Amino acid sequence: MTLLAERSQRRFYDNWEFLPEEKRRILMRENLDQYIRFAADSLPFYRDRLASYESSASAPLKNVPVLTSADLRDILPPVSDRLVAGGVKDYTVFQSGGTTGVPKTTLFSHAELERLNLPNARGFFALGLNENDRVGNLFAVGGLYMTFIHINRMLQQYGCMNFPFSNHTPVDFVHTVVKLFNVNCLTGIASVVMNCLRGMSEIGMEGIKIEKILYGGEHLYEADKREIRERYGAKVIAAPGYGTVDTWYLGYQCLDCPTGVFHAHDDEVYLEVVNEETGELCDKGEVGMLYATTFPRRITPIVRYRVGDRTKWVNEPCGCGRTTPLFKLLGRGDDVLRIGYDSVDYAAIQEFVLQFEGLSGTIQMEKVRDQGKDRLIIRIETRLSPEQRSIVAQKLEETLLEVRPSLRDFVKKGTTWPVRFELVDLNTLPRNPRTGKLMRVIDAIGDA
Ligand SMILES: [Zn+2]
């Protein structure tokens, strides 16, 4: 069955996607009320925090404290059980970023993992996945990574042909299997899929037709999409899911969504776009910080989590007919850069650089996209002489990869470019002309 035939037979995955807005809003507020009660009743941690919840206010969570990534580290195992409701122990532990030493974790009960099938499948359906598709799953597995596992589960439940390659299968074997079984769809982290396509095309694309690239984890920018369309003939290149392992699936793309725009799963999550200077909710079109409250997360309730992405609600309704609202992601709003699928945070880089003599704490990190791959550039102001700088820069590059095995693996596999350190004169890094603040972190997305 063709993509179009499938869509015309059944336009949406479930009823929620086309409920009238008023009806959806009522149900969403009921979900929120119920979830807040559950969190306050289940955990002493939330009892005081949620006392300021105002059920009938237009911004009901406005006075509720924000939950941050650093908070989660302190209240989740292995550090503490404060966020674990009812002393539950039968959960799966996933890693949610973190670098060396103690991993930052996120816990999902097995029922919650099953619940992920709904938003996951909704996204794949919206991009035209059908029962005739043969899907190669290239998502990351091992090391307590989460995505491969639940994509695999979702594909089984969805009912199409499933090839669990993961990110570890050598490209020549992927090539052989893709050709033998007419695999027509690849799903995975964007840069892994790009790498795989490039590797396969070096072997030869005769008899291979990849029609659908359903990526996640990072954006595929227009230049990357053009390459995939022109060189490999893919027709659908889009992201079926946007979410974080600390929260849930927050959004999904349909065939009408441009890069960075997503429909909200607003039956699963309560999303706020907040102006952090005023504390008010942003109007449509106004850029703010995305916060998520995730109804299906029960063993570790997540209320008002600061996701860390700058976001705005999109004014216009979507051409696809779905009434789930649209939001646009505008890059990381905090001090974290996603390099491949390692999250490099500014504070960790500061701490790392501190160990070296002669370097200032005036540091800027920038993510650039080069030929479809991420590169991390770290610029540091210094008084060192030019001769000393090149020696120290090389030492920094080597040592950083030693202490960040996750990044090292991606560099070694060619998924991301090697990190580059640039040591520059004092007072030469760009400052914000208005505030004089150092521009500490620059993301690759600039299409706000
Ligand atoms: Zn749409």
Give pLDDT tens digits for 69-82.
889 999 999 999 99
Give phi and psi for 240, each to the nearest 5. Answer: -70, -20
Task: Report which of residues 154 and 441 the model is more confident about.
Answer: 154
CA gap 7, 2 in Å, rounded: 9
Q: Are the CB atoms for 440 and 401 separated by under 8 Å? A: no
Q: Give me ligand 1 centre to Cα 258, in Å.
A: 10
Q: Give me ligand 1 centre to Cα 212, in Å.
A: 18
Q: Are the CB atoms for 89 and 302 separated by under 8 Å? A: no
Q: Give me ligand 1 centre to Cα 323, in Å.
A: 8
Q: What pLDDT score does 180 carry?
A: 98
The residue to which tokens 């029960």 are assigned: 298
Q: Give me ligand 1 centre to Cα 254, in Å.
A: 5
Collapse the DSSP code of 418 into the 3-class scheme (helix H, G, I; strand E, B; otherwise coil) and give the result.
coil
In whole angstroms, how far apart are CA 108 and each of 384, 419, 425?
49, 33, 48
* Sheet-wide strand order for 242-243: 242-243, 249-252, 261-264, 326-332, 305-313, 288-294, 269-274
Domain with CATH 3.40.50.280 in the chain: 130-238
Q: Give me ligand 1 centre to Cα 318, in Å.
A: 5
Query: Which residues make beta-bridge pairs with 244?
Result: none
For residues 356-367, give the mean pLDDT: 87
Strands 212-216 and 236-238, bridge-based pairing? parallel
Q: Give me ligand 1 centre to Cα 326, in Å.
A: 8
Per-residue model confidence as pLDDT tens digits over 25-50 = 999 999 999 999 999 999 999 999 99
Q: What pLDDT score does 432 carry?
A: 62
How far is it between the farthest Cα atoms of the chain? 69
For residues 172-184, give the mean pLDDT: 98
Q: Please name the amino acid found at residue 337.
A: L
Q: Which two tokens stand for residue 3?
A: 């993509």
Q: Give me ligand 1 centre to Cα 307, in Å.
A: 23
Is the domain defined by 130-238 classed in CATH 2.60.40.1180?
no
For residues 4-23, give the mean pLDDT: 79
Q: Give me ligand 1 centre to Cα 309, in Å.
A: 21
Q: Give me ligand 1 centre to Cα 434, in Å.
A: 38
Domain with CATH 3.30.300.30 in the chain: 336-442
CA gap 188, 200 in Å, rounded: 15
For residues 160-174, give the mean pLDDT: 95
Give the lowest-confidence range in 54-58, 113-117, 210-214, 424-428: 424-428
Task: Report which of residues 9 and 294 the model is more confident about.
Answer: 294
For residues 6-29, give the mean pLDDT: 85
For residue 23, pLDDT over 60 is answered with yes
Q: Give me ligand 1 centre to Cα 271, in Å.
A: 18
DSSP alpha helix (H) spans, 102-184: 110-115, 117-126, 147-158, 171-181
Query: Which residues, by Cβ under 5 Å, contact ligand 1, an ion?
Result: 254, 256, 318, 320, 322
Per-residue model confidence as pLDDT tens digits over 181-222 = 999 999 998 878 888 998 999 999 999 999 999 998 766 766
Per-residue model confidence as pLDDT tens digits over 389-448 = 999 999 999 999 998 888 898 899 888 999 999 999 987 888 765 445 678 888 876 433
DSSP alpha helix (H) spans, 18-143: 21-42, 44-49, 69-75, 110-115, 117-126
Is the domain defined by 3-116+241-332 classed in CATH 3.40.50.12780?
yes
Q: Give me ligand 1 centre to Cα 12, in Å.
A: 10
For residue 312, pLDDT over 60 is answered with yes
| SS3 of 291-311 | EEEECCCCCCCCCCEEEEEEE
Q: Give me ligand 1 centre to Cα 210, in Å.
A: 23
For the chain, percent of residues with pLDDT exceeding 70: 92
Q: Give me ligand 1 centre to Cα 320, in Å.
A: 4
For residue 298, pLDDT over 60 is answered with yes
Q: Give me ligand 1 centre to Cα 331, in Å.
A: 21
Q: What pLDDT score does 303 carry?
A: 98
In whole angstroms, how far apart are CA 432 and each of 123, 326, 436, 441?
39, 31, 5, 12
For residue 338, the Cα-to-chain-centroid distance in whole angstroms is: 8
For residues 331-346, give the mean pLDDT: 77
Cβ count within 10 A of residue 230:
9
Q: Give me ligand 1 centre to Cα 155, in Å.
A: 22
Give the lowest-confidence range in 246-255, 298-307, 398-407: 398-407
Domain with CATH 3.40.50.12780 in the chain: 3-116+241-332
Give phi and psi for 385, each to the nearest 5. Answer: -75, 160
Q: Which two tokens stand for residue 272?
A: 């706020």
CATH architecture assignment, domain 336-442: 2-Layer Sandwich (3.30)
Q: Give me ligand 1 centre to Cα 393, in Å.
A: 47
Q: Give me ligand 1 centre to Cα 314, in Å.
A: 12
For residue 332, pLDDT over 70 is answered with no
Q: Give me ligand 1 centre to Cα 325, in Å.
A: 9
Q: What pLDDT score does 65 carry?
A: 97
Q: What pLDDT score does 447 carry?
A: 36
Per-residue model confidence as pLDDT tens digits over 226-235 = 778 888 889 9
For residue 100, pLDDT over 80 is answered with no
Q: Give me ligand 1 centre to Cα 228, in Å.
A: 22
Q: Give me ligand 1 centre to Cα 97, in Å.
A: 30
Strands 242-243 and 261-264, bridge-based pairing? unpaired
